[in-house]
Structure 1
Amino acid sequence: METCIGFKNWVLHILKSLLPQTTHLTTPTTTNKESQTEVVLKMEQIEHKMVAVNGINMHVAELGKGPTVLLIHGFPELWYTWRHQILYLASHGYRAIAPDLRGYGDTTGAPISDPAKFTTLHVVGDLVALIDAVAGPGENNKVFVVAHDWGAVMAWALCLYRPDKVKALVALSVPFSPRNPKYKPLDALQHLYGKDYYITRFQEPGEIEGEFAVWGTERVLSNFFNFRKPEALCLPKGIGFGTSPDDPITLPSWISKEDLAYYTSKFEKTGFTGGLNYYRALNINWELTAPWTGAQIKVPVKFIVGDLDLTYHTMGAKDYIQKGGFKKDVPLLEDVVILQGVAHFLHEEKPDEINQHIHHFIQHFSVEP
């Protein structure tokens, strides 16, 4: 299987680099100070397989035995964004399942030329089929869900459309966003932030992809990973993140060159269009979800966000989270955690803290009746 061979070759490459100096690989970090060679060997134990779901072939990474935890990534991410959580959950008696969402990584079959095929209904359809495939049919095939960024958007939709599939949710970065029947989301965002706002810039098919091609995949990814300003992200045409193609590529402390190389290899293969289509389907989602206007999320939830996360500083987000609106829409919201000095990719930046938050929450629901 190509995806298995590709990942194993990458692992072997890392192991070779570790032989003369075992400090090269900086991820995944661990709380028990085990050697990085041991960590990479554990990564090699992750099983990679393809699962036919909802008309596409979904690549899934899996490790561990026990209650299933479905890990849903965002943009620009892959299953690999959960590498820390996969190892931790598997070592604590859980079965960690991390797919590449439609349009990403080694998942194939989604028509990336058509953003209308990337709505919440499509992606939730993929996830429900995946849950049925990995947890089995019947009334007891609920799973825990941990999700970040666009993964969180899809997790909220999963809880809204099919709460019977979810035991509990840990949502990272993106809170629930109730449908406003008066305004289409893209219209509202452009009105608030202007034409240079990144979501607005992502709308025209091919335009931002062309700029990304000029900047280079590795630089685009590093710019996203490095962004930690508590403000709206704007990407003016021809200027982008404001860095020069000649500037050296820098990395945040929580990601290694090998990590970036893995992400880069996958996005160079697929391009960014699949991930950008989620943004391009925003107004379509609004049109399709009118029946759920005013509906509440009825599963137990824990929400975690960094205080430097751009999503936390979206207009109205703080008040919604802190002044009762969030709890009204999500009545089973049990905990809200604001991590100080932490930006958007919190599960990679602070994996030990996030792992403990996840485990502490889901273990209360892990005992079967």
Structure 2
Amino acid sequence: MMGGPADLVPLAPAVLPDGIAARFVDTGNGLRVHLLEAGAGADRPLLLLLHGFPELAYSWRKIMMPLAAAGYHVVAPDQCGYGRTTGWDGADPANFRMLRLVRDVIGLVSALGHHRAAAVIGHDFGAPVAAWCALLRPDLFPALVLMSAPFAGPPSLAANPAAAAAELDAALAALTPPRKHYQYYYSSPAAAAEMDAPAAGLAAFLRAYYHMKSADWPGNRPTRLATWAAAELARMPRYYIMDREASMPATVAAALPSPAEIAACRWLSEPELAVYAGEFARTGFRGGLQWYHCASFGIGREEMQIFAGRAITAKTLFIAGAADWGVYQAPGSFERMQETACSDFRGAHLIAGAGHWVQQEQPEAVVAILQSFLG
């Protein structure tokens, strides 16, 4: 699947908060990037907001206007493989390797008429992209904010992710009951087909997925994990360490909130959910899943290993929800981020009342932290 028809129009103003506009930008490397922006102007410092999976530029809608009001040109792109950005080829995982994604971001800075960004801010899988932007080009990205996904540094020269993933998969399969890691599942051929056409429908699947990873779901009580041992990882909820034969839609179906819970959800209304469902109904999930394929099987890893041992010198902040297992899902990464991976680390904030979707669940708290950090 390609990134969609070239005649796509920007996201309709009716679904966006007042002051946020949508448009397309050509980054010069084949992508026609669909983005949301507020406070437009090359004379204003640029803030780049990079979403994760399964999300969109739309995921930043609740914090864009307050940041624009503080004087910034705030830009959130649909990243390669997502939304209304076109020009990507979902059949070739090499299009989604990390340094290619960094090139996309650098091209966007230039296309917007800026010489650098005041900060790059990444959430979920957008966090490692933001981290690599700051690692490779601190002149362009002097400040970095990571959300929900700690960055432990570049891979070592001895790293063999494909072998490590296969070894972990075998160990999880030997548990009772047999389990599998969600990233290994996301890297499998079955994942896209199962997620593109869930039995309950796409909107219900996404509602259950977003709910189960939020602070609204009572099963989220994250704690540090000691090691990468299979039994230790299996302490996480099943949306991380899945039952062996289950799909992701089947895994989260049991957590589908009741109509009363949906009506009470202040951070994701039914019209907002409909934006996500409409976009993924058109694109499918394959583009986003290819990011996981690259990570699990080491596509692009050799070029990343060139930077083994190098630390991020940009000033760095970490933000996550206190109910987010993403902070601890990779044992040791939260600590390495603070101790070795970032030489100018300015603090980690775990926000009460938020799970994985921290900038949507607690936008006011996120904005206050960002404004203090950015000065």
- 1:308: Cα distance to partner? 2.2
Per-residue Cα deviation, 1:219-261 (whole angstroms, up to 9, x for no partner): 2322221123332513333453152699967645421101100
Work out whether residues 212 and 255 of structure 2, in 8 Å CA contact, stay in contact via their aligned partners in 1.
Answer: no
- 1:86: Cα distance to partner? 0.8
For residues 266 and 219 of structure 1, what CA distance do their matches in structure 2 show?
14
2:194 maps to which residue?
Answer: 211
Larger helix share, 1 or 2: 1
Which of 340, 355, 359 is matched with 1:343 structurally?
Answer: 355
For residues 298 and 3 of structure 1, what CA distance do their matches in structure 2 show?
39
For residues 135 and 259 of structure 1, what CA distance do their matches in structure 2 show?
31
For residues 203 and 280 of structure 1, what CA distance do their matches in structure 2 show?
4
1:166 aligns to what SS in structure 2? coil
Which of 320, 328, 346 is matched with 1:313 structurally?
Answer: 328
- 1:287: Cα distance to partner? 2.6
Q: How does 1:1-369 map to 2 (within 5 A)?
A: 2-4=8-10, 6-8=11-13, 10-11=14-15, 43-53=17-27, 54-65=29-40, 66-137=44-115, 141-178=116-153, 179-189=155-165, 191-192=167-168, 194=172, 196-205=180-189, 207-212=190-195, 213-215=197-199, 216-228=201-213, 229=220, 230=222, 231=236, 233-236=240-243, 237-238=245-246, 240-243=250-253, 251=262, 252-282=265-295, 283-317=298-332, 320-322=333-335, 326-363=338-375
For residues 119 and 337 of structure 2, what CA distance do their matches in structure 1 show?
24
- 1:60: Cα distance to partner? 1.3
Work out whether residues 72 and 98 of structure 1, in 8 Å CA contact, stay in contact via their aligned partners in 2.
Answer: yes
For residues 159 and 247 of structure 1, what CA distance do their matches in structure 2 show?
38
Per-residue Cα deviation, 1:163-182 (whole angstroms, up to 9, x for no partner): 21112111101111221333
- 1:160: Cα distance to partner? 1.5
1:32 maps to which residue?
Answer: none
For residues 7 and 76 of structure 1, what CA distance do their matches in structure 2 show?
20
Q: CA RMSD in A?
A: 2.4
- Of 107-116 and 341-350, deviating more is 341-350
- Gaps spanning 5+ residues in structure 2: where? 1-6, 174-179, 214-219, 223-235
- 1:285: Cα distance to partner? 3.2
For residues 59 and 72 of structure 2, what CA distance do their matches in structure 1 show?
18
Greater relative contact order (Cα < 8 A, sep 6+): 2
1:37 maps to which residue?
Answer: none
Q: Residue type matched to 1:311 in 2?
A: G
When residues 338 and 185 of structure 1 are mapped into structure 2, their CA distance, relative to the original with a 3 A threshold, is: farther
Work out whether residues 209 and 252 of structure 2, in 8 Å CA contact, stay in contact via their aligned partners in 1.
Answer: no
When residues 242 and 111 of structure 1 are mapped into structure 2, their CA distance, relative to the original with a 3 A threshold, is: closer
For residues 242 and 335 of structure 1, what CA distance do their matches in structure 2 show?
33
Identical-pair percentage: 29
For residues 266 and 144 of structure 1, what CA distance do their matches in structure 2 show?
27
Work out whether residues 70 and 144 of structure 1, in 8 Å CA contact, stay in contact via their aligned partners in 2.
Answer: yes
For residues 256 and 211 of structure 1, what CA distance do their matches in structure 2 show?
25
1:176 aligns to what SS in structure 2? coil
User: Size of the alignment, in residue pairs?
Assistant: 324
For residues 142 and 244 of structure 1, what CA distance do their matches in structure 2 show?
42
Work out whether residues 186 and 200 of structure 1, in 8 Å CA contact, stay in contact via their aligned partners in 2.
Answer: no
For residues 83 and 258 of structure 1, what CA distance do their matches in structure 2 show?
13
- 1:192: Cα distance to partner? 4.1
- 1:189: Cα distance to partner? 4.5
- 1:262: Cα distance to partner? 0.6
- Gaps spanning 5+ residues in structure 1: where? 12-39, 364-369
When residues 220 and 188 of structure 1 are mapped into structure 2, their CA distance, relative to the original with a 3 A threshold, is: farther
Q: Residue type matched to 2:157 in 1?
A: P
Work out whether residues 105 and 270 of structure 1, in 8 Å CA contact, stay in contact via their aligned partners in 2.
Answer: yes
Work out whether residues 56 and 83 of structure 2, in 8 Å CA contact, stay in contact via their aligned partners in 1.
Answer: yes
- 1:328: Cα distance to partner? 1.9
For residues 286 and 30 of structure 2, what CA distance do their matches in structure 1 show?
19
